Amino acid sequence: MLDLKTIEKAAQRLQGVAHRTPFSYAPILSEMSGYEVYLKKENLQRTGAFKLRGAFNKIATLVEEGKRGGVVAASAGNHAQGVAFSAKYFQIEASIVMPESTPLTKVQGVKDLGAEVILHGSNYDEAYGYAVAYAQEHHKDFVHPFTDDEVMAGQGTVALEMLEEQRDLDAIVVPVGGGGLISGMGVAIKVINPNIKLIGIASEGASAMKNSFDHGEAESTQGVRTIADGIAVRDASPITLKHILKTVDQIKLVCEDEIAAAVLFLLEKQKLLVEGAGSVGIAALLHDKLDLPKGSKIGVVLSGGNIDVTMLSLIIEKGLVKSSRKMKLSVILVDKPGALMQFTELLTTVGANIVQIGYDRTSIDLAFGDAVVSVDLETKGVDHQAEIRTILGEHGFTFKELH
């Protein structure tokens, strides 16, 4: 049973193991959003995410019950590391099933924590199905990433820490994927202070829980596609939905560009490396998605900081475009000497810095005598980009923006 007592017991188990992560005021974000914002920095947690809390509490419970035969989990991310760390702590075996496409760095990270890694399937769902069968066949305990009371109780300790420091919050904003984090937190929050609004944030590319919340029953989506891989869940769980319907006041969606802009904002303005899933609450704040009065005192959970370097590069690129710091243009020029120089000098007059340029005179889509220039520009915001569009138009250039 998931209740405040089980969450408080989980907190006792986690003492000395999980970090009590900082929960601190964010002045720049507060000024930009119009709210009084405090950030719960679970990206600084051991193993880099809140998932350690639930995995450790579950495995600690199994050990207390005398079950030391080993555990199995399916994950390509933060849950895998949480289970591996916890199993090593209790000196029991752990087998983690990961999709065959899992990056080598993530596989090695789990192995470094002492777990056996089994690569199976082309996606999470196939890995999950195999992991459940493997646990049954080998008489091991399966540790689900969210549909488990002890896992949810461990995640709920995030709320205990936040409310011990800021009891008078008006709202708490939490990422939503499978719903384990917000379920555990919601049970604690609504007992301690039922006046606090609990707001979940999901990705538009993984909207199963949002759809389920709106319709009051668990639903699935045909697929998921999001840079917020930590909340990329296709099938909503009836178990977590039950708690969500009781405790959550709103679930909002953010798009990919908004998530990318939030990752970039946290990196630049808060000096925090936060993964896509951990940044969705900031995306909602920056793009005014919350139905709350301005001036409200809000706690936002940054749920994790484990992000692949390749993905980070992509996110930064998207974030720069979304925040009007980068502009990509395709411009038609007359293919004659000096035309390209005229174009680049025009950009110089408005202070646009060229970071990449390409010149094509052979495309079959071009009229004879024309060339197309693709150019990436560093820009200084919305007004600067408007100035660039205006001056190109005034000088007769035909162009389109690329995204």
* Active site positions, annotated: 51, 303
User: Residues 169, 19: contact at Cβ < 8 Å?
Assistant: no
Quote the CA–CA distance of 203 and 210 in Å, as a whole number: 9
Kindly list the strands in the beta sheet with 398-402, ordered across the sheet, starting from the edge strand earlier in the chain: 353-360, 370-378, 326-334, 398-402
- Would you say how long the chain is, in residues? 403
- What residues pair up with 142 in beta bridges, in sequence order? 72
Q: Maximum distance among all alpha carbons in the chain?
A: 81
What is the spatial distance between Cα 257 and Cα 320, in angstroms, rounded to a whole number?
A: 10
Instruction: Write out the two tokens for 184.
Output: 């555990």
The closest of 209, 199, 215 to 232, measured between CA atoms, is 209
Cα separation values, 264 from 38, 69, 73, 120, 276, Å:
18, 43, 32, 33, 10
Cβ atoms within 10 Å, residue 378: 14
Query: Distances from the Cα of 51 to the Cαs of 55, 146, 181, 247, in angstroms?
Result: 6, 9, 8, 21
**Residues whose CB is less than 8 angstroms from the CB of residue 78 and which lie 6 or more positions away in sequence, other chains included:** 47, 48, 49, 50, 51, 52, 230, 304, 306
Locate 169 and state its tokens.
Answer: 């919050």
